[in-house]
Each structure stands twice: as structure tokens, then as C-alpha cells.
Chains A and B, each alone.
Chain A
Amino acid sequence: MADGWIDACAAEDIDAEDVIRFDHAGRTFAIYRLNDDTYFATDGLCTHEKVHLADGLVMDGIIECPKHNGRFDVRTGEAKGAPVCIDLATHKVKVQGGRVFLQIG
């Protein structure tokens, strides 16, 4: 870990328009790859009932929670309406040398 960047996974570990779960230091995160090959990261648990978002569906930059279909913008963490009312924390991501690095922020 250099400058707070955590080596999370290989860039190719995540399919386009998909999400994976990444656990680190007792916390869980969701790392997303969108169709244009940009990567984003958020807290891994839904703000509604603490369900892992990595089991959900990524669609046009939105992650839909697998439990009650709550939706968040993966780029900003914004909750897009009931039943999710609280935004998701986002974290910085960079891709270097084919690896995805996460900075918990």
C-alpha cells in the first residue's frame, strides 16, 4: 500500500458493466467497471439494509441493490429514490499496470 492506495484486483477481474466485492481491513467495498472502461468504488453495503451490492445489477452507471431494487449512481454514490434514502460513500480508484487501486476516503 503506497500513499494510501490499496491494490484491490486486476482490471480484468471485473467484466464490463459489472461489479465485484472487495474486502479490506474489516470493511467491504464494491468496485465497478462501466461500459466505457472507467472504474469506480463505493462502500460495499447498501445504505438501506446492509446487503452486498456486488450481487446487484450495474446498468448505465447505476447499481441496483439485489434486495429491494434500491438504486445508486456508482460515480457519485447518490441514492436515486425509495427504498434507498441515504447516499453511498464513494472511494477513489485508479488503474495502473493492469491493476485497480482503491483509496479509502
Chain B
Amino acid sequence: MSTTVDAAVAFRPRDYSLTGPDTEAAIARGLSQATWYTCPVPRKQMKELMKRSDGPAIRDTLIWFASFIVTGGLAYYFWATWWCVPFFIAYGVLYGSSSDSRWHECGHGTAFKTRWMNDVVYHIACFMILREPTVWRWSHTRHHTDTIIVGRDPEIASPRPPSIGTLLLNLFQLKSGPVAIKKLFIHATGRLTAEEATFIPEMERWKVFLVARIYLALFALVILACVWTRSILPAMFVGLPTFYGGFMTLFFGLTQHAGLAEDVLDHRLNARTVYMNPVFRFLYWNMNYHVEHHMFPMVPYHALPALHAAIKADCPTPYPSTLAAYREIIPALLRQRREPSYFVRRPLPAAE
């Protein structure tokens, strides 16, 4: 890896909320809704890359559903024996982790060509990962406008100095999960948090309130089923897998931006492209090509490897494996604990 580190910038504590002094500072510095660097790609080639089709996502979704049936069926069959454990782990990862990439790609509306197919998978995946569909659609819109701009981006996973405790708890959504449930109750009563009010427009808010009520009703049904059957088994299939199967969400998700620069207008500096094995790429639907995705969000997940090939000469060297990415991320996060101004600087091709 040809990455280097930089700790030269003097650190002042940042306010990562969307309503604090760093929000105003980011706007004043022209970092919000700014023009970002894009690698040159001829229009003809870009049109090919952006082309939509239903085939790859239908195939992957059928495999996805079949995997639920097989792992869930075997977990049920072996319930109350130790043999059910590996099947619940597999089921949980499908439910609580691979749903991350499904809500993401379908939220962009690029996974399928057919709109309703994107919407159906989006809503299923949102429920699985406990991300309210309207809230997260708008939060992710902001993440794309102001990627890792402090005070503007609601999706910064590791604010500096990072809390290692929070990250470890979130391996099983133990910090983010309760927050998400608390927000369901807030939304179900027809309210938004102050931060959410900064990025969800008035006309969309009724959807937030409606879906929160539906989610709570569904969870109430699961609890009722558990009481009725005097078993935790129903919750092992619906609800709990978000937690016990959520660890791959963090494992994949941290590779996106953790430890990299804040407040830059170039995705090559604040995002990672990491080569992953085919199983990971299926679970993560090619979100490991994260620089490419941020630079050209119109390109569907199945065309990201081709986009990567088209622009890689103009990008920093990709990470050869997830392990290689973590060899950088873990020391960087630990160092940011002591030295919050520290970040990993990605060398751009011209500077290499």
C-alpha cells in the first residue's frame, strides 16, 4: 500500500451534529453542495456504464431469498440443538448485514431497471436493517451531497476521536439499534429529531410517521408470537437477526471512509476501493468499489467493476483485500484516539 499518514493539521474538537457550529462553518467555507472532483470518462462510455437492467439484480435477489429459506429452514430444523447456531449465524448475516447493500443500491434506484422492484427490495431491506426508509433516503442523499463534511454529513461512522467502545458495541447494533428504536417511537408520535428536520422536507414527513407505526406494529406482532409460542424462536427470525447478524455491516461499512480525510471535495481522498472475494461482493453488492460509487452514483452495482477499470489510473491504488484495508484502518482509528487530527492521506496518481 502506498498510503501515508498525516498528522500535521492542528486539531480542534469538531461538532459532528447537523445543527452546531461546524455546520455553519462548513457552509461558510463552501464545503456544502460543492462541486466535487470527477475522473474523466467519455460520455459514450459513461452511458454504457449507467445502463440499467433487471437481470443481475433479479438473479441475485432470487439467490438471496433462496439462501434465507435454506439457512432459515435448517436453523428451524435444528432449533434447540447446537447445530442451529451456524445456520442462525448465516441467516443473521443475510438478514442483518447483506440488507445494508440492498437498501443502499435499491435506495439509489439503480439495482433494478424496474422501479417497483427497487422499491420492494428497498423496503424489505430497510426493515431488516432497521433503517426507516424515508429517513434514510434523505440522510443518504445528504451523505452524497456532503460526503464526510463535518456538520453536514449525517452518516459519518467514525467521528474523531473515534469511540472504540461504540464501534465494538455496534458490531451487534447495540448502540445504534436502541437509538433506531427510540426514533421509531418519536416518529410514531408524529415528530422528528432536530437533526432530521434539517434534511427531511415537510412533504415527505407523513411517510416517516406512517412507516414508524407500521414497524412498531410488526415488532409488536413478533413479541406477541413469542409470548403465544412461549419461545424466542419467532424473534430469532424477525427482529433479532438485525442485532446478532449485523456484525458484517460494520465490518464492511468501516472500509468505506474510516480514518480518511474529512472536509475534502474529492472522493478519492475520503473513500476506499477495496478488492473483496466473491462471497463478500455478493453480500455487499460491490459496495467495496466505494470511490467509484460516490463519484458516479448513477452506475449500478453490477457495472462498478467496469467503472473501476475505466478510472483506476486516475485513482489511488485500491486495497488488495479487506485485510489490507483493516491493516490501515485499525491503527489509524487507534491513533486518532490519541491524536484526533491524524488521518490517512491517499496519494493521488499525479503525486505518486
Contact = CB atoms under 8 A, between A and B. Distances in A.
Interface centre among A50, A67, A83, A85 (most CB of B within 10 A): A83
B201 A85 contact: yes
Query: Chain A at the B interface: mostly helix, strand, loop or mixed?
Result: loop
Interface string B290-325: 000000111000000000000000000000000000
A56 B204 CA distance: 24
A57 B108 CA distance: 13
A32 B145 CA distance: 26
Interface in B72-113: 108-110, 113
Interface of A: 18, 49-50, 56-57, 59, 64, 66-69, 71, 82-83, 85
Interface of B: 33, 47, 50-52, 108-110, 113, 134, 137-138, 141, 144-145, 201, 203-204, 296-298
A66 B296 contact: yes
Nearest to B133: A82
Contact of B137 (A59, A66, A71, A82): A82
Contacts of A59: 52, 113
Contact of A68 (B50, B134, B145, B204): B145
Contact of A85 (B47, B51, B144, B203): B203
A85 B207 CA distance: 14
Contacts of A85: 201, 203-204
A57 B47 contact: yes
A16 to B, nearest CB: 11
A82 B138 contact: yes
A58 to B, nearest CB: 9
B137 A49 contact: no
